[in-house]
Chains A and B, each alone.
Chain A
């Protein structure tokens, strides 16, 4: 019969019954006994005696208890009764074997905890989306950019406008870009450097952000380039700069020297478009871009080759990703035809938000994938542990299960009960796992970023981590609980009731147990392999030398562009700043760079002369920076050929550059690169002569493969921001304040930041992340091994103790103890050898597979073997102990007593 009442209504009915269960039961009994009484009365009227009538009535109705159960099922409350029964039963069982429960819960807790920690790391670093409406529905559109392992999507302003106008798949699309600006609340205050995000007028509606004060932008305000200096400030800025004043709308704010009017405030939850990396202070219409962009070489709003916008949108209802992809590709093709110079060979692609997040952080993604493998392996070991423990208890419970089957309990019912027991372990394990995960998160929170305006991702436990942990726990319960449950209920009733142990049964159980031992050993090998591999990868990374000076140096960054400096004045500013720094007493060498290694990245486009460019490649794009004289001496980077830059390499002299060894060897192999030339930006660009070759160092991150790098003199191309470096005669800390003061003395209006020692900088940028990961990995490895040993010991020792009787008989019949022990050992170790074999194969396969999944330098197996030489003996030793200790205990038992024991 189809249901005529909604689920909710039924549930309400059920709850009502449960609330006053006793009364319901009483009513039921009353109703049924009333029935028999009425029937008895009728029978008496037909002539039967009182007693006969009553008996007849009862017989006619049938087994009341039997269909009371049926009634309970119809009323929908039976499942509740069963559940409660199962839980009570489980609780009683558990109270009788506390060590089993403790070890099992601990195993699951450690396994799920490791996964929760890694999940939180992934969440903080990559997965957490912008705090907008339905972030997972955002689609990113753009041209694919590449630089080594980094990839990104970006678009130019004109391309964005065309895509917006011509597409048929999106409800609307918006564009944004972030850049550093100097912010001051009053006209004369020294500006502070912050991140501003330039957005298209429809940004707030498309993202689904409603300002808490004021409004967003109107389309009119984004129409005329440079006209409307309006800003929407972030909640944090509102509190910090304006003290949370309710009248902030309408007040003014100076951004890079331009007066802006505040028109709105974003909500507190919206932390910007890069919540895991940047703190954004305010939002400005894109039309203001050309007034804020610090270079006169191009108009960011007109230049189609200037691709710095992130373009995101939402699909129209009913439009699929595939349709949108084709639509955008067609528009891209049309743009390629219309503008071959700027758009040639620049197809437009789309990306989901998840893809976007992963692509933006390739290093973190790679690391997290590795770590996830490891944490899953640890959980697998934990599950194997619990499965083993459950399986060893099976013979003990066989009798109880057989009894229940014999008196009529359905097999499904029993399996359900056993699964409930498994959940009774898994769910507390999952909850305890949150505690373990929390420890991991504490560790992650030690990571720090040495910058005033960048932000370290926050690692925290949120609702999703809780859900994740519980889901994992429940899956584990099925993994370790289902098969033993199915097996246990397939018991041969008569045998189990008699508690006899036929040889076939024993063989089956033995095989099962051996299989479990082998599986545990294999899994632990995989866990060890993974952790050693990952450990080595990160240790390799951490131990790398940076190739430049990381002691006795102070640094500070200055951004004259935020004080409204022109290009010529910028060069003059830094020139004076360098002179002032050189006058500081402790200064040994002073220089500056526009791209601090390991911190920021610039690159240029060059065409080496005399080098046959590969097909389809127009320019080479090495990383680069603009540096002052004495840079290489200051940074302890030797020049292997040629000379350093000089003060005379300026705007009036021929263009020069210094390249690193990788560039020299790649494009002018076997020759002296000094004197060779390349062109900048395109084949027809101005020629630049190489005057020196520097030794390779690290530029992006310490574990990187050799990179190509080109240095230019800052006097030939003004830089809006540079980092000054001062090598000190004594400890770095003593030089930090004098350096900052010296630079500040040139112009107090120029914002300075990130003033610290090189040691602090290097430690934070290069060492801390690696170290934190190492600790995580080492912990998981240790947990994995520990769990394995505990599990193995429990399993093997239990197996041996079950053979007490057999041992007693053998010894009574005259076998030497040594012989008996030898047999036990041999049999106990066989599955271990099998496990090693299986584990080695699995580990080797995993090692082969990893480098293709993760974009990190593949690693050799040498260290893994080294570690195995510790782990393998440990496992063997554990097994031996687990076999011998119960054996020796068993052999001390009186043989006659053992024979009598049933």
Chain B
């Protein structure tokens, strides 16, 4: 199956989702997105950090320095209350969009 490349607007949504599963550092978020999309989504690594900083600047993520698995200091990101709210809103929007497009694409002619 072909890997889909990710649209920039959706990267934010995926990051929020990934972080909602637990506070994580940048590399870990990258891996997690790969995991939860079952390997189907390809993330441009260079787009990750600008997006993380943007989300932090907008108040959707909070950061804190901690220790990673291999005993290095790393910067961990977690979801804020606004972030949680935004995740819910965007998820609902996306679901509705998918339904609508799906319905449109499933349309058949009268004959079937």
Contact = CB atoms under 8 A, between A and B. Distances in A.
A1 B58 contact: yes
Contacts of B37: none
B54 interface: yes
Nearest to B44: A62
Nearest to B12: A1
Contact of B57 (A41, A63, A76): A76
B102 interface: no
Contacts of A244: none
Report which residue of A3, A38, A70 has the largest number of chain B beta carbons within 10 angstroms of its beta carbon.
A38
Nearest to B60: A4
Given A34-B25, A74-B54, A67 B49 contact: yes
B109 interface: no
A41 B74 contact: no
Interface in A61-101: 61-63, 66-67, 70-71, 73-76
Interface in A18-69: 27, 30-32, 34-35, 37-39, 41, 60-63, 66-67
Contact of A5 (B45, B46, B82): B82
A35 B50 contact: no
B72 A37 contact: yes
Contact of A4 (B25, B26, B86): B86
Nearest to A66: B46
Contact of B59 (A4, A27, A60, A61): A4
B61 to A, nearest CB: 11
A74 B25 contact: no
B59 A9 contact: yes
Interface residues of A, number: 29
Contact of B46 (A9, A27, A67, A74): A67
Interface in A394-425: none
B94 interface: no
Contacts of A897: none
A74 B50 contact: yes
Contacts of A145: none
Contacts of A34: 25, 27, 68, 72-75
A10 interface: yes
Contacts of A41: 70
A13 interface: yes
Given A38-B70, A62-B45, A67 B50 contact: yes
A610 B27 CA distance: 107
Interface string B36-72: 0000000001100111011011111000010010101
A74 B45 CA distance: 16
A71 B52 CA distance: 9
Contacts of A67: 46, 49-50
A35 B53 contact: no
A13 B61 CA distance: 13
A515 to B, nearest CB: 45
Contacts of B54: 74-75
A27 B52 CA distance: 14
A5 B81 CA distance: 12
Interface string B70-93: 101111000000100110000000
A74 B53 contact: yes
Q: Which among A9, A10, A70 has the greatest number of chain B C-beta atoms within 10 A?
A: A70
The residue among A3, A4, A61 with the most chain B CB atoms within 10 A of its own CB is A4
Nearest to B26: A35
Contact of A38 (B27, B49, B50, B57): B27
A5 B75 contact: no
Contacts of A5: 57-59, 82
Most buried by A among B50, B70, B82, B85: B50
13 contacts: A1-B58, A1-B86, A4-B58, A5-B59, A5-B82, A10-B58, A31-B26, A34-B25, A34-B74, A37-B72, A62-B46, A74-B57, A75-B57
Interchain residue pairs A-B with the least CB separation, the first 8:
A5-B59, A62-B46, A74-B54, A70-B50, A74-B53, A38-B27, A71-B53, A4-B82
